[in-house]
């Protein structure tokens, strides 16, 4: 499941921030560098809600530190797929990201200026999680870390203004994860720690029957994709992953100075309007 969450996180970031014709651009001001780096950060953030599980991707990512952190989250959030899969959980993860985004050191050096170490650390961790989960390389021990550290350092030096979107990226990743679990699993406790029974009108058999949405323990599910690992899930994931790759590639080509819009207009011209 980890890789699927990461792919949807990256796709969501592209859809929301890119200003290309295939994206919505709802969150304005993100540069092409931001689209690329943010897609990786958001992919990693989309794994965070499962940091409540000691055998998950994150727990084994950076032993023994990650194990301790995951055990802590597991204890605070009430176990797997509880607090971290709720609206409150998203708020807490976002607040932590916002707090960390303020963490900086003034180097006293005119050229280096103030270095935002908080966002830098978050970038390293989240991108490493994403690369591990996506299994882009066979080596899942060293390469995810060297790649993410390189990316964080490059951004810190060449584009430090990028970090303003960090808390938003974490929020978006967590939301996408929860939605993903909602449509593939036995549901998520959105209103945790509150538990609600299904509303009466949902149980009322003469009315609209929506009781299936309500699972045990107050979990809410809209399992349109069936069980995790189902064929339907793959039919959903292939275009989503492809979309993320195209979006990142597009931002990269823009960055390299290619006239991507001219190519796009030529492709569009093939189809009669
Ligand atoms: Zn989950």
What does each of the 273 residues of the chain score in pLDDT, given as a tens digit? 688 999 999 999 999 999 888 899 899 889 999 999 999 999 999 999 999 987 777 777 777 778 888 899 999 988 888 899 999 999 999 999 999 988 888 878 877 777 888 888 899 989 988 988 888 777 767 888 888 899 888 887 777 778 889 999 999 999 999 999 988 777 888 888 887 766 666 665 554 555 566 666 678 888 777 776 778 888 889 999 999 999 999 999 999 999 999 988 988 888 876
Cα 1 to ligand 1 centroid, rounded to whole Å: 8
pLDDT for residue 94: 97
Cα 35 to ligand 1 centroid, rounded to whole Å: 24
Cα 216 to ligand 1 centroid, rounded to whole Å: 16
Nearest to 122 by CA among 66, 167, 72: 167
- In DSSP terms, 214 is beta-bridged to 220
Nearest to 69 by CA among 108, 96, 34: 96
Cα 181 to ligand 1 centroid, rounded to whole Å: 6
pLDDT for residue 215: 67
Cα 256 to ligand 1 centroid, rounded to whole Å: 37
* In 33-79, beta strands by DSSP E: none
- The angle at the Cα of 243, spanning 36 to 235, to the nearest 5 degrees, equals 140
3, two tokens:
């890789």
Cα 82 to ligand 1 centroid, rounded to whole Å: 9
Cα 46 to ligand 1 centroid, rounded to whole Å: 9
Cα 213 to ligand 1 centroid, rounded to whole Å: 17
pLDDT for residue 206: 56
- How far apart are alpha carbons 110 and 264 in whole angstroms? 43
Cα 174 to ligand 1 centroid, rounded to whole Å: 9
Q: For the chain, how far is it from start to end, CA to CA, in angstroms?
A: 40
pLDDT for residue 212: 63
Cα 162 to ligand 1 centroid, rounded to whole Å: 28
Cα 179 to ligand 1 centroid, rounded to whole Å: 9
pLDDT for residue 217: 64
- How far apart are alpha carbons 136 and 8 in whole angstroms? 15
Cα 51 to ligand 1 centroid, rounded to whole Å: 9
């Amino acid at each position: 499941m980890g890789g699927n969450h990461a792919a949807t996180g990256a796709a969501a970031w592209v859809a929301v921030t890119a200003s290309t014709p295939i994206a919505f651009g709802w969150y304005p001001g993100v540069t092409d560098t931001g689209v690329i780096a943010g897609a990786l950060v958001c992919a990693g953030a989309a794994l965070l809600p499962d940091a409540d599980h000691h055998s998950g991707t994150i727990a084994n990512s950076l032993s023994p530190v990650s194990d301790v952190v995951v055990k802590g989250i597991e204890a605070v959030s009430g176990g797997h797929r509880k607090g971290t899969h709720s609206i409150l959980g998203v708020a807490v993860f976002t607040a932590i990201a916002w707090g960390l985004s303020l963490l900086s050191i003034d180097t006293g050096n005119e050229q280096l200026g103030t270095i935002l170490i908080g966002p830098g650390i978050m970038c390293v961790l989240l991108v490493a999680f994403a690369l591990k989960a996506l299994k882009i390389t066979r080596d899942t021990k060293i390469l995810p870390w060297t790649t993410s550290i390189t990316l964080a350092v490059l951004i810190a030096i060449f584009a430090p203004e990028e970090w303003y979107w960090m808390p938003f990226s974490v929020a978006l990743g967590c939301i996408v994860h929860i939605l993903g679990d909602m449509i593939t699993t036995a549901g998520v406790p959105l209103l945790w720690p509150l538990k609600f029974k299904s509303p009466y009108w949902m149980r009322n058999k003469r009315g609209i029957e929506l009781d299936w949405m309500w699972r045990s323990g107050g979990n809410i599910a809209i399992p349109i994709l069936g069980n995790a690992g189902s064929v339907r899930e793959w039919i959903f994931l292939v275009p989503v992953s492809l979309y993320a790759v195209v979006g990142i590639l597009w931002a990269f080509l823009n960055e390299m100075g290619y006239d991507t819009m001219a190519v796009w207009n030529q492709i569009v011209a093939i189809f009669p309007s």
